[in-house]
Amino acid sequence: MLWIAGKIANAVTAYIVKLPPLAFRPGTELIVCAFEVAVFVAFVRRANEDILLGNLGLRLPVALAPLVVVHGALSLVLSQFA
């Protein structure tokens, strides 16, 4: 849901500056992805899941790294429809 909200915000800003709304713009994608990661880090720490990750031998950045890959892949696929 955060990815969708980020894409909507990205489309609105693109519309304002007269760019294709679904185009892949690395700067705004980086900002949205950083926001998503920050929200997930806050959620994981609030739920004390970082202790569970530590017990599994995973550090938080390693556990969240696939999120960045999935975000980029979904955004690139969607930009093909722009």
Give me 64's structure tokens: 């969240």
pLDDT digits (tens, 9 = 90+) for 15-70: 998 888 888 888 888 898 999 889 888 888 888 777 777 677 777 788 888 888 99
Angle at 63 between CA 35 and CA 47, to 5 degrees: 70
pTM of the entire predicted model:
0.76
pLDDT value of position 52: 72
pLDDT value of position 29: 87
Give me 80's structure tokens: 């093909």
